[in-house]
């Protein structure tokens, strides 16, 4: 299935009660086999966009389609089997073994009364193996390190067996080694036919791992989308983030703006 | 696979727990004013079941007074214990409970308001309905005021405010009718919480209602598990958030409301019991499918114990509601300290 935004517009009320546009008339497609990265300054609406894509919030205008129907019109369980989300933070109220947390990802497959079957345990095992967290199976999630927990949460995402995955800043809590491993996994999943959309703060990583990119400018809802390298070119990033950007080899280098902005 | 195997062991443990509870309830029938041997109690029960003649005093005390009261104490304990587990799961907050969040106070205030207008004299279920509506009103306020925030402290503080507000309303109503001594006494006795004088009449409506509530509570175990990941993530896993909130609120309303209407305010059972249940091996890690039944058994045992202790000490009146609140308050302070330590660690 394909997830597609048509004329999607998102806005938040500002202090004066006026609408501030985060995104205006966005056209975007999340297709199987690709990794799409979403970047933009703080407050530019990355998380709001992802939540709208999942049908958690209603857009101000436009529509998000999953397959042939609006995302909100699907049966919730059927939608959950097609489209899955890893939020930015998951607050854990109490402990449980990692494999039980991963099993929560099987919810859209479980019938109302019967408990998990052999098939579900197999999916949980595969998901844990996929993220290299086999050894954490029985560990209490409250005792895991940030990197270990993120892998378990990722396994929870994979256990849904959804083909379309949306990840909100999945690398934020990770050290560079874990972050690279996660992004490698995203590439692998895309190669296996998953469609992946993730928001990232690290622009270098976004350039390296994305096929397509969406750059949110955070001003009047403007955005740019297209091939990753084109969208994340130094001059565009410089404009979006208000910094000096230079590309040396494959590496982006950033410096604060030295020339005062004309509007100051 | 390991967990499925442990599932049969949990069922066995639950069965043994239920059996122990049954035996304890039987033994508890002996306790109280009047000298009865186990054999006397047994004779009454067998006589009732087989129709054999029974000694009149024994029948009056054991069957008419104690049996319904013991059963009521247990079913109310199970109801309050599982209502606590439901509340904690629904708000994803281990420090929440119907008492802490003001849900119980809402029930109590509604019943006192009913007393003031003499509504309770119409039918036995009126109190139950009022108490349920009071609980639902507070739950609605909590949902409305806390919104999507899952912050531990914010929810609790909102509960504190609602508790104070609703409690004040109840006090004002009481104060306005203070000159009507009978009413004031009734409200006071009821606020203290008591199993005294609850016969088959009380059990006849509270028992089935609460049993239905307990079943409904258990049926919510899977959506409650999903909430662990947060409301929005649960929604992306196919959970209908609005429906769960409504259904869970109704179930909590039935459990807390009917309990409060039947025996008055029995504080903090809902806070303590789920924590005791979570501490049992194989329960804490296994989600609500086990937490709810375990909380029911422990809650039933706890109130059976409190009631039996109360009867053993007759004619001294040990207000059971105050007694559980005393334990519960200390327990709550201990929990708060533990959470504060975990956060700073």
Q: Tokens 């007074």 correspond to what residue?
A: B65
**What is the average per-residue pLDDT within B96-114?**
93
Assess whether pLDDT exceeds 60 at residue B345. Answer: no
User: B 146-175 residues with CB below 8 A of A?
Assistant: 150
- Alpha-helical (H) ranges within chain A are 46-53, 76-82, 98-103, 118-130, 146-159, 176-191, 203-209, 228-231, 234-241
pTM of the model: 0.87
Higher per-residue pLDDT: A39 or B118: A39
Average pLDDT, chain B: 89
Nearest to A104 among B93, B226, B240 (CB): B226
B2: pLDDT confidence band, cut at 50, 70 and 90? very low
- Report pLDDT for B148: 64
**Closest of A201, A174, A188 to residue A46, by C-alpha:** A201
- Report pLDDT for A2: 93
Q: In terms of CA atoms, which chain A residue is nearest residue B236?
A: A80
**Closest of B65, B245, B254 to residue B147, by C-alpha:** B245
Give strand pairing partners of A245: A254
Chain B residues with CB inside 8 Å of A116's CB? 4
Q: Whole-angstrom Cα distance, residue B193 to residue A8?
A: 57
Q: Report CB contact under 8 Å: A56, B236.
A: yes
Low-confidence residues in chain A, pLDDT < 70: 259-264
- Report pLDDT for A85: 97
**What does residue A215 show for φ and ψ, rounded to 5 degrees?**
-105, 115
Assess whether pLDDT exceeds 90 at residue B177. Answer: no
- Report pLDDT for A259: 63
Q: Report CB contact under 8 Å: B237, A107.
A: yes
pLDDT digits (tens, 9 = 90+) for A45-103: 999 999 999 999 999 999 999 999 999 999 999 999 999 999 998 888 888 899 999 99
Q: In terms of CA atoms, which chain B residue is nearest residue A168?
A: B233
**What is the average per-residue pLDDT within B318-340?**
87
Q: Report CB contact under 8 Å: A115, B7.
A: yes
DSSP character at residue B62:
I
- Report pLDDT for B322: 85
- Alpha-helical (H) ranges within chain B are 2-28, 38-50, 56-58, 67-90, 103-116, 125-146, 152-176, 181-192, 200-219, 221-227, 231-236, 241-263, 269-279, 288-312, 320-344
Q: How far is B219 from chain A (nearest CA, A)?
A: 8
Chain A contact for B215 (CB, 8 A cutoff): no
User: A 125-164 residues with CB below 8 A of B?
Assistant: 140, 156, 160
**Closest of B223, B134, B92, B246 to residue A113, by C-alpha:** B223
Chain A residues with CB inside 8 Å of B286's CB? 96, 100
**Closest of A135, A198, A185 to residue A158, by C-alpha:** A185
pLDDT digits (tens, 9 = 90+) for B136-157: 999 999 999 987 665 667 888 9
**Structure-block tokens of residue A93:** 């109220």
Evaluate whether A88 touches A153 at the Cβ level (below 8 Å): no
**What is the average per-residue pLDDT within B204-212?**
95
Put residue A263 in one of left, alpha, beta given phi > 0 → left and psi -120 to 50 → alpha: alpha
Q: Report CB contact under 8 Å: B239, A107.
A: yes
Nearest to B236 among A78, A80, A115 (CB): A80
Q: Report CB contact under 8 Å: A79, B238.
A: yes
Longest CA–CA separation in chain B, Å? 66
Q: How far is B146 from chain A (nearest CA, A)?
A: 16
Evaluate whether B195 touches B259 at the Cβ level (below 8 Å): no
B293: pLDDT confidence band, cut at 50, 70 and 90? very high
DSSP character at residue A219:
S
Planar angle of CA B108, B113, B118, nearest 5 degrees:
120
- Report pLDDT for B149: 63
- Report pLDDT for A263: 59
- Report pLDDT for B1: 40
Cα dihedral sign, A194-A199-A200-A204: positive
- Report pLDDT for A262: 62
Beta-carbon contacts below 8 Å between A and B = 81
Chain A contact for B225 (CB, 8 A cutoff): yes
Evaluate whether A224 touches A38 at the Cβ level (below 8 Å): no
- Report pLDDT for A91: 84
User: What percent of chain B shows pLDDT beyond 70?
Assistant: 96
ipTM of the complex: 0.89
Question: Kind and range of the H or E element at A27?
Answer: strand A19-30
**Closest of A15, A24, A46 to residue A166, by C-alpha:** A46
**What is the average per-residue pLDDT within B50-76?**
90
**What is the average per-residue pLDDT within B16-34?**
91
Q: Report CB contact under 8 Å: B232, A56.
A: yes
Give strand pairing partners of A29: A4
Q: How many CB atoms lie within 10 A of CB A41?
A: 17
Q: Which residues contact A233 (CB under 8 A, 6 or more apart)?
A: A247
**Per-residue DSSP letters for B129-192?**
HHHHHHHHHHHHHHHHHHTT---HHHHHHHHHHHHHHHHHHHHHHHHHTTT-HHHHHHHHHHHH
């Amino acid at each position: 299935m394909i997830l597609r935004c048509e004329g999607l517009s998102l806005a938040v009320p500002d202090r004066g009660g006026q609408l501030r546009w985060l995104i205006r008339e966005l056209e975007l497609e999340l297709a199987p086999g690709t990794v799409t990265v979403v970047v933009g300054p703080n407050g530019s609406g990355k998380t709001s966009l992802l939540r709208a894509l999942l049908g958690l919030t209603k857009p101000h205008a436009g529509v998000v389609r999953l397959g042939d129907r609006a995302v909100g019109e699907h049966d919730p369980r059927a939608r959950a089997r097609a489209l899955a989300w890893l939020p930015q933070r998951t607050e854990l109220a109490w402990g449980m073994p990692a494999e039980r947390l991963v099993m929560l990802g099987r919810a859209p497959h479980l019938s109302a009364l019967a408990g998990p079957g052999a098939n579900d345990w197999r999916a949980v095992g595969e998901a844990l193996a996929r993220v290299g967290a086999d050894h954490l199976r029985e560990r209490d999630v409250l005792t895991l390190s940030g990197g270990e927990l993120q892998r378990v949460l990722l396994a929870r995402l994979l256990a849904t067996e959804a083909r379309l995955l949306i990840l909100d800043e999945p690398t934020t809590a990770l050290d560079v080694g874990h972050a690279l491993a996660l992004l490698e996994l995203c590439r692998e999943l895309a190669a296996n036919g998953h469609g992946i959309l993730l928001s990232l703060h690290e622009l270098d990583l976004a350039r390296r791992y994305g096929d397509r990119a969406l750059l949110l400018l955070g001003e009047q809802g403007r955005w740019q989308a297209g091939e990753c390298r084109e969208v994340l070119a130094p001059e565009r990033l410089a404009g979006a983030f208000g910094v000096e950007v230079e590309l040396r080899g494959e590496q982006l280098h950033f410096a604060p703006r030295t020339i005062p902005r004309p509007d100051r | 696979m390991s967990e499925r195997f442990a599932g049969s062991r949990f069922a066995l443990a639950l069965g043994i727990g239920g059996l122990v509870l049954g035996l304890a309830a039987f033994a508890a029938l002996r306790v109280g004013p009047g000298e009865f041997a186990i054999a006397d109690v047994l004779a009454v029960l067998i006589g009732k079941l087989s129709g054999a003649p029974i000694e009149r005093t024994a029948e009056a005390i054991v069957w008419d007074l104690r049996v319904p009261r013991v059963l009521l104490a247990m079913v109310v304990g199970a109801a309050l214990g599982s209502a606590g587990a439901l509340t904690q799961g629904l708000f994803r907050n281990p420090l929440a409970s119907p008492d802490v969040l003001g849900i119980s106070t809402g029930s109590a205030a509604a019943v006192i308001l009913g007393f003031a207008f003499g509504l309770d004299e119409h039918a036995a279920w009126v109190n139950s309905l009022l108490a349920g509506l009071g609980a639902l009103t507070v739950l609605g306020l909590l949902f409305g005021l806390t919104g999507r925030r899952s912050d531990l402290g914010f929810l609790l503080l909102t509960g504190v405010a609602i508790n104070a507000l609703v409690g004040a309303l109840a006090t004002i109503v009481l104060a306005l009718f203070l000159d009507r001594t009978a009413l004031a006494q009734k409200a006071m006795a009821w606020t203290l919480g008591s199993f005294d004088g609850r016969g088959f009449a009380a059990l006849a409506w509270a028992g089935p209602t609460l049993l239905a509530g307990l079943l409904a509570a258990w049926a919510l175990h899977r959506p409650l598990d999903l909430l662990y990941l947060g409301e929005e993530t649960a929604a992306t896993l196919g959970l209908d958030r609005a429906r769960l909130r409504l259904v869970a609120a109704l179930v909590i309303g039935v459990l807390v409301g009917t309990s409060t209407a039947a025996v008055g305010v029995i504080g903090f059972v809902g806070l303590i019991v789920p924590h005791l249940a979570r501490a049992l091996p194989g329960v804490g890690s296994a989600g609500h499918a086990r937490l709810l039944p375990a909380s029911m058994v422990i809650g039933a045992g706890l109130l059976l114990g409190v009631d039996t202790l109360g009867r053993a000490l007759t004619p001294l009146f040990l207000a059971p509601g105050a007694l559980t609140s005393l334990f519960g308050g200390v327990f709550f302070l201990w929990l708060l300290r533990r959470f504060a330590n975990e956060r700073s660690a």
